[in-house]
Amino acid sequence: MGPDDWLREIREIFNQHSQGNPVDLDRLAQVWEDLDTWLVRGGFPPAPWWHRT
């Protein structure tokens, strides 16, 4: 997985939560940590953060 995949999954978890569906908060925390670690180590941000879609 990479930054685009992590962001996609984070957004899906939030979307599920906003629809009132149960979500896996441990998974959300893990994916967020993966993305944060990637960025802190100098990785590029997810494309939706720097491309207009």
pLDDT per residue as tens digits for the range 21-45:
999 999 999 999 999 999 999 999 9
The structure's pTM equals: 0.89
Distance CA 15, CA 23 (A): 10
Query: Can you count the helices (H) and strands (E) in the chain?
Result: 3, 0
CB 6 within 8 A of CB 34: yes
Q: Which residues contact 44 (CB under 8 A, 6 or more apart)?
A: 3
